[in-house]
Amino acid sequence: MAMTITEKIFARAAGQDRVRPGDLVNANIDIIMCHDVTTPPAISMLKEKGIDRVFDPDKIVVTPDHFQPAKDIQSAELHKRLDTWAKEKGIKHYYKLGRAGVCHALLPEQGHIRPGEVIVGGDSHTCTYGAFAAFSTGIGSTDLAAAIATGQLWFKVPASMKFVLKGRLSPGVYSKDVILAAITAVGTDGALYRAMEFVGPALKDMSMEARMTITNMAIEAGAKNGIIAFDEITRAYLDAHLKQKAEYTVFESDADAEYVETVEIDCTALEPLVALPHLPSNGSPIGDCAGTPMDQAYIGSCTNGRIEDLRIAAQIMKGRQVAIRTIIVPATPEIWKQCIDEKLAEVFYDAGCVVSAPTCGACLGGFMGILAAGEKCISTTNRNFVGRMGSPKSEVYLASPATAAASAIEGKLADPRKYMG
């Protein structure tokens, strides 16, 4: 029986020869991601049940990121509980303040993600790691507690959708525009509990950073996971980042694997997109919405806070001034350091931007960029729900780093292609 990548990964994790969509399997977990919001409740659940163990301290990766550095007493208490637990359990891969970063940028950068594995995390955008031909999905605190204690979880094997990315991207158009186009095409529930498998020639020109942007937002279409097949670009990234356990298993979808739906996207015809309030599926070509006044621009997050994203923004901002409040957030300390070394931070400073330490803060309406009533923000994040970044009377517009940078310069939604050399 033919299988997709996702199905083959589940078969391996469950110790079975084959699985089908809809099957319930008990899968062994290879990596668990823990951060400061969902992990403390999981720790409390285990304590209440008298469970004082972790299944494998070497397979749990911990970092505070949502409210780090701590913004108030409550977040400081969350960090304290996380810190105490990680030390008590001997968690080997614990990235605390000074080395903490946005989790979905940090784990691949630090070599914790490998093809063919099952990865879970107490965060909905854990689907990011599917860019590495792995099964990766977000879970709640209850499932997180069970995974921490046992190293296993029950799953229903998802059916797969195929997204064929045809052609190639034009200058000024990026992977963020591709995933916004995909979500706009199917809607926020169009891939509900499905695997979104991305294939096609347009991927050949996309870096791993660009691919992670695509799989990061699979959850915004309701998907269980997003996934991209292994190739030489994947191999090159892993060769540079894997620090241990370099061996991994590569699975490929069979030529006759079954998909419940196929969606084709002509990447050559795409122009920069903006997801208008209040859904990621409200994609609008920049030509239809340019000129809408903005109050803030935010460039960062687990979607677009990597070094490639910041280079793109700096290229547009160099020698120019921003017209609105603009916040730049490198996703990890290493990316922050690269910004310094490559003088990107100098470009942002000269342009009038605020450059922050790594944090998820503003993306979820926590801190470092909260919006007041009536304010509009062009953001490289992944969600623009009502009240997502502050007041329920504010508005969030999702776009690529290039579109966000161009809009910051003009103080209104702007086409980045006019700034391409």
- Residues with Cβ within 8 Å of 247's Cβ and at least 6 positions away in sequence, in order, are none
Asked whether residue 22 falls in the same domain as residue 44, the answer is yes
User: Cβ(273)–Cβ(286) under 8 Å?
Assistant: yes
In degrees and rounded to multiples of 5, residue 152 shows phi and psi of -140, 155
The confidence band for 245, taking pLDDT boundaries of 50, 70 and 90, is: low
**What is the rounded CA–CA span in Å between residue 347 and residue 298?**
16
Asked whether residue 26 falls in the same domain as residue 97, the answer is yes
- Residues 56-111 have pLDDT tens digits of 999 999 999 999 899 999 999 999 999 999 999 999 999 998 999 999 999 999 99
Task: Look up the domain containing 320 and give its range.
Answer: 273-419
Asked whether residue 258 falls in the same domain as residue 314, the answer is no
**What is the rounded CA–CA span in Å between residue 79 and residue 86?**
10
Tokens of 132: 């590495």
- Residues 133-188 have pLDDT tens digits of 999 999 999 999 999 999 999 999 999 999 999 999 999 999 999 999 999 999 99
User: Cβ(236)–Cβ(223) under 8 Å?
Assistant: no
**Cα dist. 88→32, 41, 46, 239 in Å?**
17, 17, 14, 32
pLDDT at 247: 86
Asked whether residue 257 falls in the same domain as residue 142, the answer is yes
Q: What percent of the chain has pLDDT over 70?
A: 99
Peptide bond into 69 cis (omega under 30): yes
Asked whether residue 48 falls in the same domain as residue 195, the answer is yes
In degrees and rounded to multiples of 5, residue 236 shows phi and psi of -60, -40
Is 322 a residue whose pLDDT tops 90? yes
Tokens of 71: 């913004």
User: Cβ(322)–Cβ(352) under 8 Å?
Assistant: yes
The confidence band for 243, taking pLDDT boundaries of 50, 70 and 90, is: confident
**What is the rounded CA–CA span in Å between residue 105 and residue 335?**
9
* Torsion, CA 81, CA 84, CA 87, CA 88, rounded to 10: -110
Asked whether residue 84 falls in the same domain as residue 25, the answer is yes
pLDDT at 124: 94
Q: What percent of the chain has pLDDT over 90?
A: 95
**What is the rounded CA–CA span in Å between residue 405 and residue 272?**
13
**Domain C-terminal end among 219, 246, 265:** 265
Asked whether residue 169 falls in the same domain as residue 25, the answer is yes
Is 336 a residue whose pLDDT tops 70? yes
**Cα dist. 310→93, 174, 360, 382 in Å?**
26, 13, 16, 16
Tokens of 74: 């409550």
**Domain C-terminal end among 220, 237, 265:** 265
Is 421 a residue whose pLDDT tops 80? no
- Residues 111-138 have pLDDT tens digits of 999 999 999 999 999 999 999 999 999 9
Q: What is the mean pLDDT of residues 282-304?
A: 97
pLDDT at 1: 79
pLDDT at 420: 84
**What is the rounded CA–CA span in Å between residue 241 and residue 226?**
21
Is 244 a residue whose pLDDT tops 90? no
pLDDT at 246: 75
* CATH number of residue 300's parent domain: 3.30.499.10
Asked whether residue 258 falls in the same domain as residue 313, the answer is no
Asked whether residue 94 falls in the same domain as residue 239, the answer is yes
